[in-house]
Structure 1
């Protein structure tokens, strides 16, 4: 009887898997997209404003386009490959004919299936030109409570002062450094050298740093570098900014000055400045790898964040910020985002109007490519992408001429792009005070700090307090009560940064503790 039951269940699972069908479903509104997510017979794997890619538990309906009747078989990978007017689509299709199947040929994209274990990594057709479609279910962002009262109509003089700290020479020096690796292709050893250099820069600024491994289809590759600056009041609320540091070239070197040493350097410059200050919320600075081959690094990070239930208020993407077409004198950003990220786009637009009123923002729908913001939008968060002018971005990217000079040619513009993100992040995170300088009376003092085995919490008065210790991920690792001052044993805590929230009868405050 037991064997019969096992056979029945196995047969049922096989039938269910065969019943699923991979389809492309055109959508014409945000409501239509949300209806797909609310339909129990539809499992959405990827979405844009124009369409969604999903599996259906029943045969295709009239408004869907069949892609694969038996999807997600072992070793099979699916990609959205962008093919705008800059791409010779016929030539690209011919170049991949021996390793991939074209499942759908759209106006500006292809849906492609390939066995990468057999044929290796699928090449992109253009810059920022591929998105890997995973079997896991996508998520769609809902309105976030933060945006209900987030209008900043007047400049905060402290944040305005931070903008003055953005140093264009520092940004350009870091672009030069990253360019001089020759290539930062994710599969090349030079990319790992760049990864380690970025890690050391983040550590120099006192940030908690994780080198996050993830899988790519062609074998070992460089990893994400994730730096965290813990919030003092709401450490479990996150503001995230990032850019990819990997590069790609169709032939020859891949110096990747504008794409994307420029955005990576912008993220690093913001990290340098903001690391000196305290914020209510946690700020995460990301240097992603694997973007050029399908957003692998950001998909891994955003997917892990969603799985852990992280409360990310918004993601700000920095990708290509240093090219201004010769002869143009007006700096413009094409602001790319899906309808699901409208609140975040409105917030960024408002912040720029307050702090950088001459910086022109043009809402855009970029049908010719994609970047790491899409990974966040497909994992239930809001992500936006302030990009160079979509009609006049660098013509040198993905070539050996993506260099400081012809491609990264306008330091002043890189500064303005960086200032716009910095103002947005600092406002959303909630600037509090310079690190180590208290502007309010503290009821508790921690010493020694950094500490290795024991730390003393010295309290004013002898009142009872509750203490909660959280790690860099915002997860509670310990909680207890104490009467007056006391000593706590921290030998069981791994080295890293922790937040101690101390609450008494008439106060609540947060202290940062470094365990060595």
Structure 2
């Protein structure tokens, strides 16, 4: 969905609020990032991951050439190589946890993920995360010995994450970016659970998780071939909402304005920096009745979405390698469009760069205006150390039936603004922080339903 966000100059500013002119409309470097990912490098990474034979969570962790252990060590080494190329700008580490007594992991099994942290220059404890899944599987989810290439599911997501690290490590950003290769997804989302738990323990302020799970197929089981769209799945109501917050939301709205939903709207807008790509926002946690590695982050209260191909081929998912009645099954490399993976990688990269460049999303956003003609929004400003590039704020609003923010106004470096003659009952409202270079945070809906957290 592509939208122009007009400024409506007819709405008066309350006299008490003086503000400067708006910053630039866009950051030129985002156009460079939107075309930088290499299909050639991505293909090489996918072929390498397929070469490990299987990456099943229960496969060998010690074999030097086959199994998830070999794949995980290679990913770690590749992140280290990328870090050397940028002068040591990545902090590469393992995130581990032991699982046992689970339906798909009788155990005990150590689930090992790899993360690479590109620390922000001004606000290093604010994180935007891109992730993919290391593990693969065949028809029997417990079969850890059969060949399971997992070329699209999910070598494509890992290759995209590695490539995003190569591209973005050439830049420096105020906020931190994490590139995560998560394990244990097919066996119960354990890699994501362990990373989300560690993030909460360490006090990370996570403003976004972009989970990439299958970003390489363009020919769907439905007969549609499409390399110009991507889906972004986003949960509605925050999973950790309290009963009191739910009661308040019933009267103020917010069912379609969770942080995850506004993260999806942000990614939709950032697609304008990627040639020939549009985003289909899907108002659902994941595909019908299915799950992915963003869910543990949603469960922990963090904004998280799933980025993936628009048209799936189920013959290539979770299948034994075989041919039946002329029909080929299995997740092999022939089913991956490397240029399309590069395009979705670019979508992630520009979104991560935009958020890491921008100031943190506004905190403590409140709204007033019942039984009046005007609507007033209030919010808190971060410290100067956290947001040295803060230019000011932009107020957004839209009809309650619109899927994307359609109206906006630059209001300057203030913490309160009144939209004159704009009735609160008729619109949804939000606020975004704007940097001096024009980059913006995601829009924050007022109150608990839309909160991205504090500073």
Q: TM-score range by the shorter chain?
A: 0.5 to 0.7
1:342 and 1:171, CA in 2 relative to 1: closer, same or farther beyond 3 A? same
Query: How far 1:249 sits from its partner (Å)?
Result: 1.1
Q: Distance in 2 between matches of 1:311 and 1:371?
A: 21
Q: Which of 164, 173, 178 pairs up with 2:44?
A: 173
Tell me if 1:292 matches 2:186.
Answer: yes
Match of residue 270 from structure 1: 164
CA displacement, residues 374-433 of structure 1 (integer Å, 9 cap, x when unaligned): 1111101100112222x534531212321110x32x12211111110000001101189x
Q: How does 1:87-486 map to 2 (within 5 A)?
A: 154-189=25-60, 190-206=67-83, 207-217=90-100, 218-250=107-139, 252-325=146-219, 328-339=225-236, 340=258, 341-356=260-275, 358-365=277-284, 366-389=287-310, 392-399=312-319, 400=321, 401-405=330-334, 407-408=335-336, 410-430=337-357
1:422 and 1:306, CA in 2 relative to 1: closer, same or farther beyond 3 A? same
Point out where structure 1 has 5 or more consecutive residues left out of the alignment: 1-150, 433-467, 469-516
8 Å contact from structure 2 (residues 133, 154) kept in 1: yes
8 Å contact from structure 1 (residues 242, 316) kept in 2: yes
Point out where structure 2 has 5 or more consecutive residues left out of the alignment: 1-21, 61-66, 84-89, 101-106, 141-145, 237-257, 322-329, 360-384, 386-455
1:327 and 1:343, CA in 2 relative to 1: closer, same or farther beyond 3 A? closer
The one of the two structures with greater contact order (alpha-carbon pairs below 8 A, sep at least 6) is: 2
Segments ≥4 residues shifted beyond 3 Å: 151-155, 353-358, 391-394
CA displacement, residues 192-235 of structure 1 (integer Å, 9 cap, x when unaligned): 10000000010111121111111222123440101111111111
- RMSD of aligned residue pairs (Cα, Å): 2.3
1:304 partner SS: helix
Match of residue 417 from structure 2: none
Query: How far 1:154 sits from its partner (Å)?
Result: 4.3
1:355 and 1:169, CA in 2 relative to 1: closer, same or farther beyond 3 A? closer
8 Å contact from structure 1 (residues 153, 350) kept in 2: no
Query: How far 1:331 sits from its partner (Å)?
Result: 2.8
Q: Which has the higher strand share?
A: 1
TM-score normalised by the chain length of structure 1: 0.52
2:316 partner SS: coil
Q: How does 1:480-495 map to 2 (within 5 A)?
A: none
8 Å contact from structure 1 (residues 277, 431) kept in 2: no
CA displacement, residues 147-182 of structure 1 (integer Å, 9 cap, x when unaligned): xxxx99944211211222210011111111101111
1:310 and 1:358, CA in 2 relative to 1: closer, same or farther beyond 3 A? closer
Q: Distance in 1 between matches of 2:274 and 2:36?
A: 14
8 Å contact from structure 1 (residues 288, 297) kept in 2: yes
Aligned residues: 280
Match of residue 363 from structure 2: none
CA displacement, residues 449-478 of structure 1 (integer Å, 9 cap, x when unaligned): xxxxxxxxxxxxxxxxxxx9xxxxxxxxxx
CA displacement, residues 240-287 of structure 1 (integer Å, 9 cap, x when unaligned): 111111111125311100000000100000011111221111111100
TM-score normalised by the chain length of structure 2: 0.58
Q: Distance in 1 between matches of 2:273 and 2:40?
A: 25
